[in-house]
Structure 1
């Protein structure tokens, strides 16, 4: 189903037999490039808050966000999630979502799990629509401290108020949480590593990380800088945790805006030269 470009859609998009919640901001794909937002492991469309509008205001790009299956108001999924659920999302679903949205030229902007999915897509799927990546708090391999933080979140979900907080955003809150938490805390996930996707990137990348992120260290950013063959820029934010776009919105937005402006100047030069 082709979507209607609106920030208040009346229907969900049907993609691969699944109904997905979505929203759009700013110019449509036939008028401007599109920032495609890929949420974190406990995220949804609504949890981007005012970020999408700020992005379109700052960049002039359209912005498209959707809740992956199992999140927000999208259809639920069967549990447990497979441990390679991020790879499957990249290879099986993201391209089809962009097809439904009518995306023509895109920058993928992913947060946490979403950043990993963006990298996996760009590193494994030949899709000329995608011209750049913005990776916020990406992870490519499991780290002991990050796994400990996820186990702590599991305790808070059962004993604290995390479940009630998430229930505001997810129609199937137990599916959303358990699908993420139980995959990451599976003993086999300690060996999870998809960093080889970085080796295959051939488009510009902006990587943003909070220095105090409990779910991932700067080793994740070092992995990008060590392995990548395409241009990469980084922004490391002091006094910032897992969500730079919310915790230090101004600095994050400014960096994203400059990256998009430089990227599209380069795109226009290449088109003119061709």
Structure 2
């Protein structure tokens, strides 16, 4: 897929968009808190081909090949704001029928977007998303910050994010480790989610317990399905790509 920068209300975002299938929805991929378009590797293209749906992958501001963040400081509602940016991007590209696939922070953003803009979202797949803060999440972020400070993680991230790495890591870790973020909770939005939902989570997810899944599935208004995978951590689509791909294909085909 060819990539380009697009202006979304003054934000220069990098997108890769493939529009090959007429009258089919577009699967929109939403990356995690240290992710970007490149780090999805070939998963989006494989899902697009298997479902014969179009595909859009993009880097949020401050990530990958998008322009830098203006500041590392974030409010508690930063993911709600990202759902609004997603909506503005869809308006810019004239996309009115999408299927969201979000991982981690991207999974949360997918849930919020589906709650705020249900008329545009035909279905959504949330992989390892969060609806509230748990002790295991805080520990996971602390461990990631320690790895950033003591291993070659900065160099590995630089390959994908260039000189934006330090601000990106600071933005993620500071908000999640702050006292004020412990009260963050989006359960009140879940009743507004009417499109079909597939929630994928590894049983050994180091950033969240299965309570994230159970409480989400129980509170959305649309049909909801959970796919819990034993012996798998926070990134099922990388750890067991073929299984996650197969399940996602089956779910999406049921919505077409």
Whole-Å Cα distance in 1 between the matches of residues 74 and 41 of structure 2? Answer: 26
Whole-Å Cα distance in 2 between the matches of residues 201 and 32 of structure 1? Answer: 22
Structure 2 unmatched runs, 5+: none
Query: What is the aligned partner in structure 1 of residue 222 from structure 2?
Result: 230
2:2 to 1, 4, 8: 8
Structure 1 unmatched runs, 5+: 1-6, 265-274
Query: What is the aligned partner in structure 1 of residue 75 from structure 2?
Result: 82
Whole-Å Cα distance in 1 between the matches of residues 156 and 19 of structure 2? Answer: 29
Deviation at 1:27, TM superposition (A): 1.7
Q: Say yes or no: does 1:21 pair with 2:3.
A: no
Whole-Å Cα distance in 1 between the matches of residues 67 and 199 of structure 2? Answer: 30
Query: What is the aligned partner in structure 2 of residue 149 from structure 1?
Result: 140
1:215 to 204, 207, 213: 207
Deviation at 1:25, TM superposition (A): 3.5
Query: What is the aligned partner in structure 2 of residue 204 from structure 1?
Result: 196
Whole-Å Cα distance in 2 between the matches of residues 66 and 217 of structure 1? Answer: 28
Tell me the alpha carbon deviations over residues 160-187 of structure 1, each in whole angstroms, 9 at most, x when there is no partner: 1211111111121112211111111111
**Retained in 2: the 8 A contact 1:20–1:66?**
yes
2:59 to 52, 67, 76: 67
Deviation at 1:122, TM superposition (A): 1.3
Deviation at 1:225, TM superposition (A): 2.3
Runs of 4+ off more than 3 Å:
none
**Retained in 2: the 8 A contact 1:26–1:53?**
no
Whole-Å Cα distance in 1 between the matches of residues 175 and 151 of structure 2? Answer: 21
- Map 1:4-153 onto structure 2 (within 5 A): 7-9=1-3, 11-25=4-18, 27=20, 30-77=22-69, 78-91=71-84, 93-125=85-117, 127-153=118-144
Deviation at 1:24, TM superposition (A): 2.2
Q: TM-score, normalised by structure 1?
A: 0.89
Whole-Å Cα distance in 2 between the matches of residues 180 and 83 of structure 1? Answer: 11
Q: TM-score, normalised by structure 2?
A: 0.95
Query: What is the aligned partner in structure 1 of residue 177 from structure 2?
Result: 185
Tell me the alpha carbon deviations over residues 70-112 of structure 1, each in whole angstroms, 9 at most, x when there is no partner: 1111111112122221011113x11111122231311111111
Query: What is the aligned partner in structure 1 of residue 151 from structure 2?
Result: 160
Aligned length: 254
